[in-house]
Amino acid sequence: MFCPNCGMQLPDNARFCSKCGNQVSVTQSRVPEPKTSEQGINDSFNQLTDEQKKEVVESLFDTSLEKAVATYVELAKNGKVWVADLNTGIYYLEQVKNLPDIDSDKNRLYLALLVYQDGKDVYDAHFKRWLDADVDPDLLLGDFAQFLNGGLQELMLHTALFDNAVQNRIMAHMGIVRFLEQVLLTTILLSLKLAHREISPEGKAMLIQQHGEELVKVAFERFEAWYNELLTKIKSENS
């Protein structure tokens, strides 16, 4: 028989585990199920279909972008933005005197498309190797390890369709998500500046020609509510 607490093999007539001291019932004679191994987690994750992997990436992207937008709104109210030091890879807050004067009617579509496109490109690039079954996800942590130590439970991922092993694997790499949140914050700032500088009356037509009407339509509808709030709060703060 085996101890149900620690798995120690015991004599059939044992009443207590000689290793952990746990009380053992004489009727408990089946071999306990082994704990999920690291290899088991990898195997489980790698057995996901391409569609399931795509859903994981989209869930991470949507959750992080929504949180990034909300964070940017709060920072913008105080005239602050995230800035990246490209030499060190460290992000810090910087006071900005003049945020872009955003005209929601003219710039919102362009802005939404820019952030969607740029943010998705960033996400796809960082998760490409993670989704490759031939690469151990742990290899991706590297410089992102410092982000594993704080607030990893803040993001709630909608991964109920995956088993516990896969969910554990996702949660183990939330540091990457934390890092990408900061990347997205910077992306939003750059997109605001770009929209402010380059938008023109022909902007929408140019976007449709370049990206296709359906993508422009989806990008606009998907982020319209978020950017309505963002634009309103920034304008209110700067008025």
**CB atoms closer than 10 angstroms to residue 145:** 11
Q: Is the dihedral of CA 151, 153, 157, 163 positive or negative?
A: positive
Q: Decide: residue 233, CB within 10 A, 0-12 exposed, 13-18 middle, 19+ buried.
A: middle
Query: Do 155 and 232 lie in a common domain?
Result: yes
pLDDT in tens, 172-229: 444 344 444 444 444 444 444 344 334 444 555 655 665 566 655 554 454 445 445 5
Please check whether residues 78 and 3 belong to one and the same domain. Answer: no
User: Residues 1, 67: one domain?
Assistant: no
pTM (whole model) above 0.75? no
Query: Do 133 and 229 fall within a single domain?
Result: yes
Same domain, 45 and 131: yes
Question: Within this chain, do residues 156 and 141 fall inside the same structural domain, yes or no?
Answer: yes
**Are residue 132 and residue 206 in the same domain, yes or no?**
yes
- Specify whether the CB–CB gap between 71 and 191 falls below 8 A: no
**What is the rounded CA–CA span in Å between residue 100 and residue 92?**
20
Domain count within the chain: 2
CB 167 within 8 A of CB 159: yes
pLDDT by position in tens, the chain (length 239): 667 666 666 666 666 665 555 666 544 333 333 333 334 434 444 565 656 655 654 554 555 555 544 444 444 445 554 444 444 444 445 554 443 433 443 333 334 444 444 444 544 544 454 444 444 444 433 323 333 322 232 222 323 333 444 444 444 444 344 444 444 444 444 444 344 334 444 555 655 665 566 655 554 454 445 445 545 554 554 45
Domain co-membership, 57 together with 114: yes
The residues with which 6 forms a beta bridge, in sequence order, are none
Is the CB of residue 118 less than 8 Å from the CB of residue 194?
Answer: no
Residue whose structure tokens are 């490109």: 121
Tell me which H or E stretch contains 95. strand 90-95
Q: Which residues have CB under 8 Å from 206's CB, separation 6+? A: 200
Rounded to 5, what percent of the chain is helix, strand, coil? 60, 5, 30
193 and 125 in a single domain? The answer is yes
The whole domain housing 224 covers 39-238
Same domain as 53, residue 27: no
Closest among 14, 7, 45 to 168, alpha carbons compared: 45
State the Cα–Cα distance between residues 174 and 20, nearest whole angstrom. 34
Q: Is 24 helix (H, G, I), strand (E, B) or coil?
A: coil
Whether residue 8 sits in one domain with residue 47: no
**Are residue 9 and residue 114 in the same domain, yes or no?**
no
Q: From the CA atom positions of the chain, what is the Rg in Å?
A: 24
Provide the CB-side half-sphere exposure for 89 (13 A, CA).
8
